[in-house]
C-alpha cells in the first residue's frame, strides 16, 4: 500500500511537472529590450501606412486585466504590444496562444515574450489555472482573443466564454482585486494586411468583472460575454 501511494504521488508530481513545462513562459528582459524597440520604431512604422490608436487612457495601470482584442491578422500580436505594451502602459503582456503556434524557433521566441500554449480545440484546466495565477500576480496583463480564431472581415464574431470564465475565477479567487476586461477593436484597411495597409486600434473602457456576478457561474459568464460582445461591437461601429 505504501509503495502504491508512493507511485501515485510520483505520477502526480510528474504530471504537474509536465504541465508546468508545457506552460512555461516568461517575458525575457533582454529579449524584450531588443524586440520592443525594433517592432515599435522600425518594423510596424515601415510596414504599415497610418497607425491610429484611440483610447489609451482606458488602459488600467494597476488592476488585474485581460485584454480582449478582435483577431483579424497575425499582425495583431505585434499591434497589441505597440498600442498597449510596456512602452505605453509600463506593463508587460502575456499571450494565450494556440498550441500549434508554439513550435520551433517561433515557439522559442513566443515563450520568451510571454506567450503560453493552449489547445483551442480541447482546452485544458491547467491553462485556465495558469491564466488565473497570472492575473492574481497583478503585474502583467493577459491577452486572450475572445473570438477564438482569425477572421479576415469587418464584423464581430460570436465570442467564446473562456475569457469570462477566467476573469470570474480570478475575481472569486482574489475578491479584493478589481479584475477587469479591456475590449480592443483592431481594424485593417484591407482584409489581408500588406505593405502600406492602415490600422485603426480602438481601446474601449474596461468591464469590471464584479458587476456581472450572477446566481451561477454559467449565468455570470453568459452576462459578461454578452457585455464584452456588445462593447466590441460598439468599438467597430465608431
Whether 156 is in a domain gets the answer yes
Torsion of CA 74, 200, 145, 163, to 10 degrees: 170
Whether 124 is in a domain gets the answer yes
Q: Which three cell numbers stand for residue 117?
A: 500554449
Question: CA–CA separation, 211 vs 187, rounded Å?
Answer: 29
Whether 3 is in a domain gets the answer no
Give the residue among 189, 236, 202 at the shortest CA–CA distance from 49: 189
Whether 43 is in a domain gets the answer yes
Number of domains observed in the structure of the chain: 1
Cβ-count burial 26-45 (b if 16+ within 10 Å, e if not): bbeeeebeebbeebbeeebe
Place of cell 478589481: 178
Residue 17: band (very low, low, confident or very high) from pLDDT cuts 50, 70, 90: very low
pLDDT digits (tens, 9 = 90+) for 170-212: 887 655 468 999 999 999 999 999 999 999 999 999 999 989 8
Whether 30 is in a domain gets the answer yes
Task: Give the CATH number, domain containing residue 203.
Answer: 3.40.1130.10
Give residues with Cβ within 8 angstroms of 232, minimum separation 6: 68, 70, 146, 156, 159, 183, 185, 204
Can you give the residue range of the structural domain that contains 69?
22-237
Q: pTM of the prediction?
A: 0.86
At residue 177, the pLDDT reads 63
pLDDT digits (tens, 9 = 90+) for 32-48: 899 999 999 999 999 99
Whether 15 is in a domain gets the answer no
Whether 7 is in a domain gets the answer no
User: Is residue 202 within 8 Å of 184, Cβ to Cβ?
Assistant: yes
pLDDT digits (tens, 9 = 90+) for 71-105: 999 999 999 999 999 999 999 999 988 777 777 88
Whether 12 is in a domain gets the answer no
Decide if pLDDT at 226 tops 70. yes
Amino acid at each position: 500500500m505504501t509503495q502504491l501511494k508512493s507511485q501515485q504521488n510520483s505520477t502526480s508530481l510528474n504530471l504537474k511537472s509536465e504541465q508546468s513545462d508545457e506552460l512555461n513562459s516568461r517575458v525575457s528582459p533582454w529579449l524584450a529590450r531588443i524586440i520592443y524597440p525594433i517592432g515599435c520604431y522600425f518594423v510596424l512604422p515601415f510596414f504599415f501606412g497610418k497607425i491610429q490608436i484611440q483610447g489609451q487612457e482606458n488602459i488600467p495601470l494597476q488592476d488585474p486585466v485581460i485584454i480582449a482584442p478582435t483577431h483579424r491578422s497575425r499582425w495583431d500580436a505585434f499591434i497589441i504590444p505597440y498600442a498597449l505594451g510596456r512602452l505605453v502602459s509600463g506593463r508587460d503582456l502575456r499571450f494565450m496562444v494556440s498550441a500549434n503556434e508554439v513550435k520551433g524557433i517561433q515557439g522559442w521566441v513566443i515563450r520568451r515574450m510571454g506567450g503560453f500554449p493552449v489547445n483551442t480545440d480541447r482546452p485544458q484546466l491547467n491553462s485556465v489555472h495558469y491564466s488565473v495565477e497570472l492575473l492574481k500576480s497583478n503585474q502583467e496583463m493577459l491577452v486572450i482573443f475572445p473570438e477564438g480564431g482569425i477572421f479576415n472581415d469587418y464584423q464581430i464574431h460570436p465570442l467564446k466564454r473562456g475569457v469570462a470564465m477566467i476573469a470570474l475565477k480570478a475575481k472569486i479567487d482574489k475578491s479584493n482585486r478589481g479584475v477587469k476586461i479591456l475590449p480592443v477593436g483592431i481594424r485593417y484597411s484591407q482584409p489581408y494586411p500588406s505593405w502600406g495597409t492602415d490600422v485603426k486600434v480602438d481601446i474601449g473602457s474596461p468591464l469590471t468583472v464584479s458587476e456581472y456576478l450572477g446566481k451561477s457561474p454559467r449565468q455570470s459568464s453568459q452576462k459578461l460575454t454578452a457585455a464584452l460582445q456588445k462593447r466590441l461591437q460598439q468599438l467597430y461601429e465608431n
